[in-house]
Amino acid sequence: MSEYIDHDSTGQSIGLVTKHTFTFGESGQGISLDSGRSLGPVKLAYETCGTLNSDKSNAILICHALTGDSHMAGYYSEDDPKPGWWDIMVGPGKPLDTDKYFFICSNVIGGCMGSTGPVSTNPETDKPYGTAFPVVTIGDMVQCQRHLIDHLGIDKLLAVVGGSVGGMQVLEWSVRYPERVRAALPLATTTKHSAQAIAFNEVARQAIMADPKWNKGDYYESGRPEHGLAVARMVGHITYLSDESMRHKFDRRLQDRVELSFDFEADFQVESYLRYQGNKFVDRFDANSFLYLTKAADYFNLENTYGDGSLVAAFSRASCRYLVISFTSDWLYPTYQSKTMVKAMKKNGLNVSFCEIEAPWGHDAFLLPNDRLNGLLTGFLDRVTADCGIGGAQ
């Protein structure tokens, strides 16, 4: 997930928002993780916007991508220079319309944006967990989100929506808690990583672990592995773009020079761009969290976890309706992977809509303005609301 944060051209915004926290699993009552270990207490940072109706039936959970956070839209303060990561989509009159729905977004466990993760204090040592933090899965993340939904008193979500790793969480919700979800909108995602996707993540992880400052994850007092994390981000960022988008943005244009330098400085604009993205990333993200979150994405395998190797069997657990969206230039999670999940859904007689959207910008297309995507989300949610007889915000 890149940091595409755009102001809506209409000027419509939900305005100021607040980051909340919810803690559970205290007093030794931690959650059981897929690894067999337990974790507690667990803190989740989350954000809400819109108005919950009287019977709490208009709630939509938004799941963020790999390096996202709970700040989905609006601003934290009057002088905040950046809105939330999906501000172009969430707000009054927008595709994810806060005049109609109540939205929730929480930072996943294992992250570093307010939820429990490697940077959190280990109650057994009173120091940051580091790599003593247990390996978590997409299923573990969703289990924690369910605790939050329970805390908010919501019995059934109108919808769960998310792109990329957020889309994995959407799929997990639909088969893990089928009785809690009316509709699922997985965007630009997959039911399992390909070998190529795992390979890119492994190169990124090795870049971090090869940095001497990583110190086997114990670097919170000695200094962060900034170089390794920056390189890891550069690797990941390449997978979010497309050949066409990189050609359009950079081609082989030089950066602040008219001829080659014949040294190892950044000659090309694309080199300078990647270095900038890497250096910016280290200011806001934790290296250990990057290791944990990429591993969780690699471990995700819906057909093995819920279908004993059969995707059709996995989706036999589901009962919600789906809107599956892919993008033509997404080579990280290409359209054939979306078509595979749609085929498995349809074999179970599920109500499924699918669209491949023409977009040149690669995997990150779901984060960028797109009229086709806007119309699909708006129309689908309107139909779900009407068919279920659900009233809007009151």
Over residues 195-225, the pLDDT tens digits come to 999 999 999 999 999 999 999 999 999 999 9
Residue 291: which of 236, 335, 244, 243 has the closest Cα?
Answer: 236
Q: What percent of the chain has pLDDT over 70?
A: 96
34: β partners = none
Q: Quickly state the pLDDT bin for 30 (edges 50, 70, 90).
A: confident
- The H or E element that residue 196 is part of is helix 195-210
Cβ-contact 166, 104 below 8 angstroms: no
- Rounded CA-CA distance 239/310 in Å is 28
Mean pLDDT (whole number) for 260-282: 95
Residue 381 CB burial class (10 angstroms; 0-12, 13-18, ≥19): buried
Which residues neighbour 89 within 8 Å (Cβ) at sequence distance 6 or greater? 73, 95, 96, 374, 377
Q: Quickly state the pLDDT bin for 10 (edges 50, 70, 90).
A: low
Mean pLDDT (whole number) for 170-192: 98
Q: Is 372 annotated as a binding residue?
A: no
Strand, helix or coil at 178? Answer: helix
Predicted confidence (pLDDT) per residue in 85-114, tens digit = 999 999 999 999 999 999 999 999 999 999
Radius of gyration of the chain (CA): 21
Cβ-contact 98, 14 below 8 angstroms: yes
Task: Give the pLDDT of residue 237.
Answer: 95
Mean pLDDT (whole number) for 286-308: 98
Mean pLDDT (whole number) for 329-348: 98
Q: Quickly state the pLDDT bin for 2 (edges 50, 70, 90).
A: low
Strand, helix or coil at 381? Answer: helix
Q: Quickly state the pLDDT bin for 28 (edges 50, 70, 90).
A: low
Strand, helix or coil at 42? Answer: strand
Q: Which residues are catalytic?
A: 164, 330, 363
Q: Quickly state the pLDDT bin for 133 (edges 50, 70, 90).
A: very high
Task: Give the pLDDT of residue 393.
Answer: 57
Task: Give the pLDDT of residue 11.
Answer: 60
Task: Give the pLDDT of residue 3.
Answer: 53
Res. 4: pLDDT tops 80: no
Q: Is 286 annotated as a binding residue?
A: no
Q: Could you give the domains of the chain?
A: 20-193+301-388 (3.40.50.1820)
Q: Quickly state the pLDDT bin for 12 (edges 50, 70, 90).
A: confident
Which residues neighbour 375 within 8 Å (Cβ) at sequence distance 6 or greater? 95
Strand, helix or coil at 244? Answer: helix
Res. 187: pLDDT tops 60: yes
Per DSSP, 17 falls in state -
Cβ-contact 161, 169 below 8 angstroms: no
- The crossing angle, in degrees rounded to 10, of helices 195-210 and 287-299 is 160
Predicted confidence (pLDDT) per residue in 150-171, tens digit = 999 999 999 999 999 999 999 9
Q: Quickly state the pLDDT bin for 392 (edges 50, 70, 90).
A: low
Mean pLDDT (whole number) for 52-67: 97
Residue 12: which of 98, 91, 83, 67 has the closest Cα?
Answer: 91
Res. 9: pLDDT tops 60: no
Res. 1: pLDDT tops 80: no
Task: Give the pLDDT of residue 29.
Answer: 74
Q: Quickly state the pLDDT bin for 189 (edges 50, 70, 90).
A: very high
Res. 270: pLDDT tops 60: yes
Task: Give the pLDDT of residue 81.
Answer: 84
- Rounded CA-CA distance 312/344 in Å is 5
Task: Give the pLDDT of residue 249.
Answer: 93
Res. 182: pLDDT tops 70: yes
